[in-house]
Amino acid sequence: MRTIDDLDVAGRRVLVRSDLNVPLEDGRITDDGRIRASLPTIEALRARGARVVVCAHLGRPKGQVRPELSLAPVAARLGELLGADVAFAADVAGESAAATVAGLADGGVALLENLRFEAGETSKDDTERGAFADRLAGLADLYVGDGFGAVHRKHASVYDVPARLPHAAGGLIATEVGVLRRLTEDVERPYAVVLGGSKVSDKLGVIDNLLGKADRILIGGGMVFTFLKAQGHEVGRSLLEEEQLDTVREYLRRAEETGVEFVLPVDIVAATAFAADAEHAVVPADAIPADRLGLDIGPESGKLFASRLAGTRTVFWNGPMGVFEMEPYAHGTRAVAQGLIDSAADPGGGTTPHTPRNGAFTVVGGGDSAAAVRRLGFDEGAFSHISTGGGASLEYLEGRTLPGLQALED
């Protein structure tokens, strides 16, 4: 896979596929982590005299122009972070885009409107998708793939455009792939995986693949109730995927057979309703009242999880332990984040979490986990790596071929 160092970019139009899919509330960006993660590649290209044309998606407009999903606020924030003007095109690959790109000087940056305003971006029809890719590729001389959060999608800007232009991977994708290889091919042990989030079905492939690689798997979040039910416990009104019970029982059997340690919560924060102000209490994990629903792992579970992370050499975490957006149910997620930080600390008392030989190599697997780290006020630098691609990271760990990476390797 070539990198931007292999491209002659001076004076040339470089289309950069970034991941700028940030959360918005009333037109305001509430977490700019993905924009900040995109900066190094954009800045490196600018410094070498490229005319940088950034493209990205936001939300799921499904081929319709939806003003509330415009990338205009992202262009403004990108400009602030770069300390330079970012020209914004009012369309994706139309007259405004062509004029905006034509107006760029060497070192200039433009951002195109939301890719998914065009139906061809996500079309499953190769001809329709290819026609849009032709228009998009026509705006540039070179292509750089740097939107790791989208590489698991066979979309025009990710898969088809690289076939039409000389291409390379940006720094973000190169870093992400290097990290994921360390989680699958060159693993330092003991290796612990922490999985949370709402649904077991979202993590089935990861669990299946990691049963042969991880030393221990810690389960929290809404998905834990399917595991508890599979063991015969009452889960009340908690989130439950009945159709996955047999699969989960098989995973538990395989783990016991192969010596992989499954760690489940010993207590749960159970509430009367899905609300921050609902009555709630800590109950044993095997005795959740029938009229309550679990919204977080309990304090003893937080201590248990932290103890199982201590002494590890590699940790991958994807998915919160509870509804961290509500303070009463944020303690489990906070405990796991702190457990990763403590596992990465230098046993000799130093403060070099990025150096694996001093402690664990800790990876936060993007998505809600990364959002939780920022929302709960943790120092991002205390983790070895925070991924920008939750879904892409999971599919890589499942062993799947990712179309966006495949396109860059050709």
DSSP 280-291: EEEEETT---TT
Start-end of H helices in 154-232: 171-184, 204-210, 224-230
66 flagged as catalytic: no
391 flagged as catalytic: yes
Q: How far is CA 274 from CA 63, 269, 292, in A?
A: 34, 12, 10
Whether 20 has a binding-site annotation, put simply, is yes
- Give residues with Cβ within 8 angstroms of 323, minimum separation 6: 274, 295, 296, 329, 330
Whether 58 has a binding-site annotation, put simply, is yes
Q: State how far the Cα of 242 lies from the Cα of 232, in Å rounded to an integer.
A: 12
Whether 170 has a binding-site annotation, put simply, is no
Edge-to-edge strands, sheet with 314-318: 261-263, 216-219, 191-195, 314-318, 361-364, 385-386
Whether 57 has a binding-site annotation, put simply, is yes
Whether 116 has a binding-site annotation, put simply, is yes
Map residue 55 onto helix, strand or coil. strand
Pairing assessment for the beta strands 385-386 and 361-364 based on DSSP bridges: parallel
Which long-range contacts (C-beta less than 8 Å, at least 24 apart) are formed by 73-77?
73/24, 73/27, 73/28, 73/29, 74/20, 74/22, 74/29, 74/35, 74/111, 75/111, 77/29, 77/32, 77/35
Whether 291 has a binding-site annotation, put simply, is no
Beta carbons of 164 and 137 less than 8 angstroms apart? yes
Whether 277 has a binding-site annotation, put simply, is no
404 flagged as catalytic: no
Whether 59 has a binding-site annotation, put simply, is yes
Return the axis-axis angle of helices 367-375 and 390-397, rounded to nearest 10°: 130
Q: Which two tokens stand for residue 311?
A: 């002494």
Among 34, 129, 154, 216, the active-site one is 34
Whether 294 has a binding-site annotation, put simply, is yes
Beta carbons of 261 and 220 less than 8 angstroms apart? no
Whether 368 has a binding-site annotation, put simply, is yes
Whether 366 has a binding-site annotation, put simply, is yes
367 flagged as catalytic: yes
Whether 34 has a binding-site annotation, put simply, is yes
For 312-358, the three-class secondary structure string (H helix, E strand, C coil) is CCEEEEECCCCCCCCHHHCHHHHHHHHHHHHHHCCCCCCCCCCCHHH
Among 199, 303, 374, 375, the active-site one is 199
- Could you tell me the end-to-end alpha-carbon distance of the chain, in angstroms, rounded to an integer? 8
Residue 270, strand partner residues: 281, 294
Whether 367 has a binding-site annotation, put simply, is yes
Beta carbons of 170 and 145 less than 8 angstroms apart? yes
Among 145, 367, 390, 404, the active-site one is 367
Query: Catalytic positions, please?
Result: 34, 199, 367, 391
**Annotation: binding site for (2R)-3-phosphoglycerate:** 34, 116, 153
**Annotation: binding site:** 19-21, 34, 57-60, 116, 153, 203, 294, 325, 366-369
**Annotation: binding site for ATP:** 203, 294, 325, 366-369
